[in-house]
Amino acid sequence: MQLDSYRTLGRSGLRVSPLALGAMTFDDGSWGSAPEESFAILDRYLDAGGNFVDTANQYNGGASEETLGAYFARQPRKRDHLVLATKFGGTLFPTDPNAGGAGRKAIVSQLEGSLRRLNTDYVDVYWMHQWDRHTPFEETLSTLDGLVRAGKVRAIGVSNTPAWWIARADATASLRGWENIAALQVEYSLLARTVEGEQLGAARALGLGVTPWSPLASGVLSGKYSRETTQVAGSGRSGYAAPLLTESTFVLLDELARIAAELGTTVAAVALAWVRQQREVTSVLVGARTLRQLEANLASIEVTLSPEHRTVLDALTVPRLEYPYPFLDEVGVGYQQGDTTINGMSSAQFQRA
């Protein structure tokens, strides 16, 4: 497995790396990476064979996009050789009700702002950053279809959106001849697995690509935390990490450390490999504030977990899904197929201990 072993992104012809570079940390250096360090991170990622860079209009008040735009101004030939993704939905003008969300006015103005900051005339993937409960999905989809037809967007995706919306939007786009959704971006890690119910189910049914964000659970699975170390000096993510530092997480970290030692790698690399090896996953978003962090994340591409490793990790983090999944597992399998085994599944697998 290499970084330049490309995969098509869901229902698009875009070829993307199995690890995508998240640019949320790119800014003026006050929180993440100052421009020069961001440029070095980009150079290293691209030199390693990576080609998928992801940002959003609202990241650091637009500074992430501006940093990428400055990079393309310095090295313009690199723009067309990578898959550039950004997102809409987040407002940059909090007192303007039409500055954010997924309405036509907002989408068009947000894309214009992103293209200006990114120093490009198109984006390869345009993500709806989150579900907009105030806007009819037909308005969102028809607007995105128009942007694809105008050549300003190559493919569209959705993030942080209910599966029912995705299914309804996909059916409507197909019936009306609009651009289909190509991929989903979802939170997914060993500590955030509820997407295995509805979101990944939608991805399988509709043929969508999946690009997980926060695969290290806000750094909890990076190897920095343990029973003895629950605070990391200088980390801007400690507040997000604190609620996850429970005894069950420490048990998981112990097992990750054991597997890492067995494979001669790191806790972070094992945690990233677990996400990457899920069958629905196309490309895993990794972020880095420093070159050292990037190198640690890139090292995960060389790690392949055995079925035994995955079984152990799966058992430690089984998600509790919402109804009807618990009911279907506990009652439905035997009710439908009795004592028989179908497609490798038997009712005995779901009997309570």
**SS3 of the chain: helix, strand, coil, percent, to 5:** 45, 15, 40
Nearest to 135 by CA among 100, 187, 175: 100
- Name residue 284's amino acid: V
CB 153 within 8 A of CB 237: no
- In sign, the C-alpha dihedral spanning 205, 209, 215, 217 is negative
The residues, ordered by sequence, that sit 6+ positions from 212 with a Cβ below 8 Å of its Cβ are 185, 186, 187, 188, 189, 275, 281, 284, 285
User: What Rg do the C-alpha atoms of the chain give, in angstroms?
Assistant: 21
- Name residue 221's amino acid: L
CB atoms under 10 Å from CB of 233, counted, come to 5
The residues, ordered by sequence, that sit 6+ positions from 98 with a Cβ below 8 Å of its Cβ are 105, 106
What backbone phi and psi angles, to 5 degrees, belong to 234? Answer: 80, 0
CB atoms under 10 Å from CB of 124, counted, come to 21
For residue 212, the surrounding DSSP H or E stretch is: strand 209-213
Q: Which of 59, 122, 126, 188 is catalytic?
A: 59
- Going through 60-206 in order, the beta strands assigned E by DSSP cover 83-88, 123-128, 153-159, 181-187
CB atoms under 10 Å from CB of 97, counted, come to 12
126 labelled catalytic: no
Take residue 21 and report the two structure tokens written for it. Answer: 């570079």
Active-site residue set: 59
